[in-house]
Structure 1
């Protein structure tokens, strides 16, 4: 083997070792970052894609964001992260838009049936905070119900199309009771608790009346908060809402306008036009924020938590319905729990 070939092999080996060491360093930082104060994976910066061209030479922008699917605090790592609704990604996007002086207004397109109570509340708070700095226009697409409408209440203005399904103002919580099935197959359950309500919602026994009242009280508390947020945002008394559209029903965009739940009927183009008007930027370019995985997220290493072992499940829904957790409260239409 001549010296030239030998030298090339050494260079290739050195490059391979350097890449290997670099990847291991990245993995180590990602795995221990959350354990060391001040060390964390870098905050993801959104990239921009032009949706609607503005006047040539303008630097002013309207940012388009999307909230699509069931709202959940659960996260997916790796390449799937950018394909699923993410509370953190939406919060980061709103913060980035507010911090950018060239962004004059934000359009948030909502196409969601709702989701977890807390996740919806977190996004609502982020939208409301952004709206205190810049106009935020929510455009309701096919559906913006329950938690989706909850989020919209944080915006400056809300636009729905004629065929939008929205409202569903309410809270739902469900569990499955199987104690009679246990009796038929000869099974029983022994549960040891530290208090009378510790195993409330257990499916292995009938539910007591005091437990029913307790759970209903939790649901009513969350409902009252939802009602208060809608009342404040839409300037409609809580009693009026409670006795009309705030009974869990879904309404169309036109019905929502009549009930003062939205500000106008229109399409996404109308949302862009209103954003330009409220942002005093008639020539602004409309850009869409996109999440592009960095090295941490692409490798699925950003989380300090280890990936749980894979398990096989039989899905009889054809993956068309969201997987909801028993005992959790949701801002969702009731049909999603059956």
Structure 2
């Protein structure tokens, strides 16, 4: 082959490659949902999201009916992790989105929410509970409790149609905790002090720089009691058990799945397959298959650019996964968590 022919072939291949890249970029851009501000600059570029399905169990007899399996894993938090870690550490919004998509899909006959959580923030738990309860008004929702569904995890479960727990599940822990750390004596030893200017007597409550007053203790305890009463009321309404009877077990302790069944906190002992079977029964679809939702990772997620503004400096991404194993309680934030996690 002559040098001229070889050069023309190389140029042709190069142009073909460039054309392919431009075509793919064009197709990618057409799938983006741009939010354009009044100054005509792009403030954000996100691919439109739709949760994709992964088959867990094939349907029988070519049925189009589905049971959707959704996972609630780890500490329940109002903070969510975006990008490639979103599926492993879901926040409130991904759970709500999965529930909404399942409810809106006419082929979905029931939902199985697998809970494996020690609990978490009070408000985040309440939001997910409300989303589960709303979904259960439209389609049956079966909660399957895995290794742990305690405190906020149990709170969420109370929104379901039915609850299935394993024999060895640790659940209940019906209670509220608020923590703070007092380091005022340490300040004195090292010669430090703190001065705070506040607009009211309770504005710097839970400050660790000074001893807590008795009226502050009563004030914080009242907050805890209000949240505990709400928790107790939700359990009582969901399980049909009077509050006074619940107080025999609703003192913050965790119990096994068998003990929870005896206390009427759950409906059935079993495994996730039993939850699927119950969901098929409640959904009146014996032939339904089982699918899981997954988040498709976009290019922007992978590069950490999902929320970057045009022209902004690249953000430094830091990920601390330790809180998924042992949560770090924020001072003054109320949590539905077992005492063993409150450190």
Question: 1:150-229 residue pairs with structure 2 within 5 A?
Answer: 150-229=155-234
Unaligned 5+ runs, structure 1: none
The equivalent residue for 1:68 is 73
> Partners of 2:241 and 2:48 in 1: how far apart?
39
- 8 Å CA contact 1:171–1:222 kept in 2: the answer is yes
The equivalent residue for 1:44 is 49
> Partners of 2:129 and 2:68 in 1: how far apart?
18
Instruction: Say whether 1:144 aligns with 2:164.
Output: no
> Partners of 1:28 and 1:134 in 2: how far apart?
31
Provide closer, same or farther for how the CA distance between residues 148 and 17 of structure 1 changes in structure 2, counting only shifts above 3 A. Answer: same
Question: 1:1-338 residue pairs with structure 2 within 5 A?
Answer: 5=10, 29=34, 41=46, 44-242=49-247, 244-303=248-307, 320-338=325-343
- 8 Å CA contact 1:219–1:329 kept in 2: the answer is yes
> Partners of 1:103 and 1:187 in 2: how far apart?
62
> Partners of 2:25 and 2:280 in 1: how far apart?
49
Deviations 1:248-267 (A, max 9, x none): 11111111111110111111
Q: Secondary structure at the match of 1:133?
A: coil
Q: Secondary structure at the match of 1:66?
A: strand
> Partners of 1:82 and 1:114 in 2: how far apart?
18
- 8 Å CA contact 1:177–1:202 kept in 2: the answer is yes
Q: Give the drift of 1:308.
A: 6.9
> Partners of 2:35 and 2:303 in 1: how far apart?
10
Provide closer, same or farther for how the CA distance between residues 273 and 8 of structure 1 changes in structure 2, counting only shifts above 3 A. Answer: closer
> Partners of 1:272 and 1:107 in 2: how far apart?
7
> Partners of 1:81 and 1:221 in 2: how far apart?
33
- 8 Å CA contact 2:31–2:48 kept in 1: the answer is no
Q: Secondary structure at the match of 1:97?
A: helix
Q: Give the drift of 1:9.
A: 5.0
> Partners of 1:86 and 1:318 in 2: how far apart?
13
Q: Give the drift of 1:318.
A: 9.9
- 8 Å CA contact 2:74–2:325 kept in 1: the answer is no
RMSD of the TM alignment (CA)?
A: 3.3
Give TM-score, length-normalised by structure 1: 0.88
Q: Secondary structure at the match of 2:62?
A: coil
| Higher mean displacement: 23-32 or 252-261 | 23-32
Provide closer, same or farther for how the CA distance between residues 318 and 45 of structure 1 changes in structure 2, counting only shifts above 3 A. Answer: closer
Give TM-score, length-normalised by structure 2: 0.86
> Partners of 2:163 and 2:249 in 1: how far apart?
17
Deviations 1:261-281 (A, max 9, x none): 011111111111111111110
Provide closer, same or farther for how the CA distance between residues 42 and 220 of structure 1 changes in structure 2, counting only shifts above 3 A. Answer: farther
Provide closer, same or farther for how the CA distance between residues 62 and 215 of structure 1 changes in structure 2, counting only shifts above 3 A. Answer: same
Provide closer, same or farther for how the CA distance between residues 138 and 200 of structure 1 changes in structure 2, counting only shifts above 3 A. Answer: same
Q: Give the drift of 1:89.
A: 1.0
Provide closer, same or farther for how the CA distance between residues 43 and 256 of structure 1 changes in structure 2, counting only shifts above 3 A. Answer: farther
Unaligned 5+ runs, structure 2: none
Q: How many residues align?
A: 334
